[in-house]
Amino acid sequence: MCGIVGIVATSPVNQALYDGLTVLQHRGQDAAGIITIDNNTFSLRKANGLVKDVFHTRHMKRLQGNIGIGHVRYPTAGSSSSAEAQPFYVNSPFGIALAHNGNLTNAEALKELLFSQARRHVNTTSDSEILLNILAHQLCKSGKLKLEAEDMFSAISNVNELVVGGYASIAMIIGHGIVAFRDPKGIRPLVYGKRETESGTEYMFASESVALKADGFEFVRDVAPGEAIYVTEDGQLFSQMCAVNTQHAPCIFEFVYFARPDSVIDNMSVYATRVNMGTKLGEKIAREWADKDIDVVIPIPETSCDVALEIATVLDKPYRQGFVKNRYIGRTFIMPGQEMRKKSVRRKLNAIDREFEGKNVLLVDDSIVRGTTSAQIVEMAREAGAKNVYFASAAPEVRFPNVYGIDMPSAAELIAHGREVDDINQSIGSDGLIYQSIEDLIAAVRQENPEVTEFETSVFDGQYITGDIDQEYLNRIDALRNDSAKSTREQAMSASLELHNQEESEGE
Ligand code: AMP
């Protein structure tokens, strides 16, 4: 998963881009980048690390200009080296830079097409570089030195015909402006907003509405599936549908885990959908576990707190914070190697023994992926003195890999892959395990906007809505995502970080 921002303003955008990326940091902590246009020249800063660590005063001073885009990365298909941090740019035609959130499922075919039809070389394993070159090739076709809005839209229409997958993208073109576009199925989120100033209207695009708010932009609306919105450098806005056969199927995992609760995606408040998930799951627990004498409901912080509080209300049981989270440790999920992950769960969470002693506790998490967190937490609850430990997941069983931009382990590493609830319950060591049903999850999210009738739910049901995913593709991503592949990439990343640090200190 990644976060993207883009701003066309009447004054320098560096600070606003930085602030926007900081608000989207939860979408990717692996690398960050900002590129701006000043005097028809790109200024770029990108590196591995958190936003606060990547940009120093000297970089911000260089990132001049009233127009720019930014990116935070959570690697999925590509590598985690700093050379593959976004935004990427090409020099022809014009200077074009691109930031992208998602994953192209036909990246290999596109790479071949770029070489055979456009003689364009792609230098990294990142599908964002592929998307950028596909866009550049299509923009080239107009042959014009100055593109009109219709040229931009016809290029994006061609891109949408060629590209398959989930993608929300923001491209910036020297001498023109910013064009933002969302895949024809609206899998990945993208919103835009505006801000009135004395010098004119300014526009901002972002993965989540919360970034607009943080930068003082008024939310206008979501970019529609298959739509492109072009804002010229002097602040004129044009929009057009650039795809046929659009379908609105936003990724449901954004609501389960990824997005911030204070964001609104496709007119659905993420917070409200999580409360609804709590109501549905609470009702299921009341129905199916009437015999279990639950004393207390305890969330596994933080995403599940909103769900757990609602479950406690439905069950009429106390809600207690039994675990304290150390905020200064990275997410356990992205650390390769099972041992490493186990250790970091313990470093990240600590139990307050008094809340567990002699009690039947219901632990609530947003989802169970590998099961590492849940198994450790169940053990911690027992060590803290719990009598019985029950476990509830706000999402259904995660059984299949994600191919549209969410980092999920290889299928074999998913605890629910090919397994049923009793078996998983035994594996994580709980005295009872209950999952939200897929129907209830969809209903919980839809309740906030009944106009959305479909969701991208492949991690739960294995249905890939782009229709192009076969076993061969899944085997290929399995090979990229398993622990040993990840640790090879991790080593490459350490080497590149070392080189980068060396270059940085030489440049001081
Ligand atoms: P585990 O079952 O140990 O793999 O971890 C599950 C926990 O990781 C969930 O409770 C979420 O809070 C979090 N999580 C779920 N999906 C992801 C993801 N794609 N990337 C990072 N963390 C995730």
**pTM metric for this prediction:** 0.93
Last residue within a domain, chosen from 247, 263, 284: 247
A 10 A CB-CB count for 412 gives 11
Q: Are residues 106 and 147 in the same domain?
A: yes
User: 367 CA distance to ligand 1 centroid (A)?
Assistant: 6
Measured CA to CA in angstroms, residue 104 lies from 8, 169, 217, 243, 474 at distances of: 27, 12, 30, 16, 13
Q: Are residues 289 and 238 in the same domain?
A: no
Question: Dihedral angle at the C-alpha atoms of 378, 382, 386, 392, nearest 10 degrees?
Answer: 10
Half-sphere exposure (Cβ direction) of 69: Cα atoms closer than 13 Å: 29
Quote the pLDDT of residue 35: 98
Q: Are residues 367 and 232 in the same domain?
A: no
Q: Pocket of ligand 1, candidates 30, 72, 257: which has the most ligand atoms within 8 Å of its Cβ, to mutate?
A: 257
| CATH number assigned to the domain comprising residue 80 | 3.60.20.10
Residue 431 lies in a domain: yes
| 365, two tokens | 């998490």
What type of residue is 393?
S
Q: Are residues 113 and 227 in the same domain?
A: yes
Half-sphere exposure (Cβ direction) of 495: Cα atoms closer than 13 Å: 7
Atom of ligand 1 nearest to the CA of 371: 2
CA–CA separation, 253 and 281 (whole Å):
16
Q: Pocket of ligand 1, candidates 369, 399, 414: which has the most ligand atoms within 8 Å of its Cβ, to mutate?
A: 369
Atom of ligand 1 nearest to the CA of 253: 16
Residue 243 lies in a domain: yes
The domain tally of the chain equals: 2
Give yes or no for a contact between 2 and 80, defined as CB atoms under 8 angstroms apart: no
Residue 471 lies in a domain: no
Last residue within a domain, chosen from 209, 231, 247: 247
Q: Which domain holds residue 184?
A: 3-247
Q: Which residues are annotated as a binding site?
A: 303, 365-366
Q: Are residues 195 and 280 in the same domain?
A: no
Measured CA to CA in angstroms, residue 287 lies from 240, 360, 385, 434 at distances of: 48, 18, 27, 12
Q: Are residues 289 and 431 in the same domain?
A: yes
Q: If you take atom 23 of ligand 1, which residue's CA is the nearest one?
A: 333
* Residue in 2, 242, 251, 305 annotated catalytic: 2
User: 370 CA distance to ligand 1 centroid (A)?
Assistant: 8
Atom of ligand 1 nearest to the CA of 370: 4
Quote the pLDDT of residue 490: 59
Q: If you take atom 11 of ligand 1, which residue's CA is the nearest one?
A: 367
| 2 has catalytic annotation | yes
Pocket of ligand 1 (CB under 6 A): 257, 303, 331, 333, 365-374, 406-408
Give yes or no for a contact between 198 and 187, defined as CB atoms under 8 angstroms apart: no
Q: Are residues 182 and 280 in the same domain?
A: no
Give yes or no for a contact between 131 and 190, defined as CB atoms under 8 angstroms apart: no
| CATH number assigned to the domain comprising residue 440 | 3.40.50.2020
Task: Tell me the three state secondary structure of residue 53.
Answer: helix
User: 184 CA distance to ligand 1 centroid (A)?
Assistant: 27
Q: Are residues 57 and 183 in the same domain?
A: yes
User: 368 CA distance to ligand 1 centroid (A)?
Assistant: 6
Q: Pocket of ligand 1, candidates 333, 344, 347, 378: which has the most ligand atoms within 8 Å of its Cβ, to mutate?
A: 333
Q: If you take atom 19 of ligand 1, which residue's CA is the nearest one?
A: 407
Residue 501 lies in a domain: no
Q: If you take atom 9 of ligand 1, which residue's CA is the nearest one?
A: 367
Give yes or no for a contact between 49 and 71, defined as CB atoms under 8 angstroms apart: no
Q: Are residues 207 and 322 in the same domain?
A: no
Q: Pocket of ligand 1, candidates 255, 349, 363, 367: which has the most ligand atoms within 8 Å of its Cβ, to mutate?
A: 367
Among residues 167, 180, 126, the alpha carbon closest in space to that of 403 is found at 167
Among residues 307, 311, 301, 355, the alpha carbon closest in space to that of 332 is found at 301
**In a structure prediction context, what are the per-residue pLDDT tens digits for the chain, which is 508 residues long?**
899 999 999 999 999 999 999 999 999 999 999 999 999 999 999 999 999 999 999 999 999 999 999 999 986 555 677 888 999 999 999 999 999 999 999 999 999 999 999 999 999 989 999 999 999 999 999 999 999 999 999 999 999 999 999 999 999 999 999 999 999 999 999 999 999 999 999 999 999 999 999 999 999 999 999 999 999 999 999 999 999 999 999 999 999 999 999 999 999 999 999 999 999 999 999 999 999 999 999 999 999 999 999 999 999 999 999 999 988 765 545 455 666 666 678 888 999 999 999 999 999 999 999 999 999 999 999 999 999 999 999 999 999 999 999 988 889 999 999 999 999 999 999 999 999 999 999 999 999 999 999 999 999 999 999 999 999 999 988 887 776 666 665 565 555 555 555 555 554 4
Q: Are residues 306 and 378 in the same domain?
A: yes
User: 323 CA distance to ligand 1 centroid (A)?
Assistant: 17
User: 454 CA distance to ligand 1 centroid (A)?
Assistant: 24
Q: Are residues 188 and 312 in the same domain?
A: no
Residue 169 lies in a domain: yes
Last residue within a domain, chosen from 247, 265, 298: 247
Among residues 404, 407, 411, 408, the alpha carbon closest in space to that of 456 is found at 404
What type of residue is 124?
T
Radius of gyration, alpha carbons of the chain: 23
What type of residue is 7?
I
Whether the link from the prior residue into 75 is cis, omega within 30° of 0, is no
Task: Tell me the three state secondary structure of residue 345.
Answer: helix
User: 211 CA distance to ligand 1 centroid (A)?
Assistant: 23
| 195, two tokens | 């801000």
CA–CA separation, 297 and 135 (whole Å):
50
Matching residue, tokens 């029950």: 390
| 420, two tokens | 């049923």
Atom of ligand 1 nearest to the CA of 365: 10
Mean residue pLDDT of the chain comes to 93
Atom of ligand 1 nearest to the CA of 373: 3
Residue 36 lies in a domain: yes
Residue 489 lies in a domain: no
User: 400 CA distance to ligand 1 centroid (A)?
Assistant: 14
Q: Are residues 46 and 185 in the same domain?
A: yes
Q: Which residues are annotated as a binding site for Mg(2+)?
A: 303, 365-366
Residue 463 lies in a domain: no
Task: Tell me the three state secondary structure of residue 350.
Answer: strand
Atom of ligand 1 nearest to the CA of 1: 19
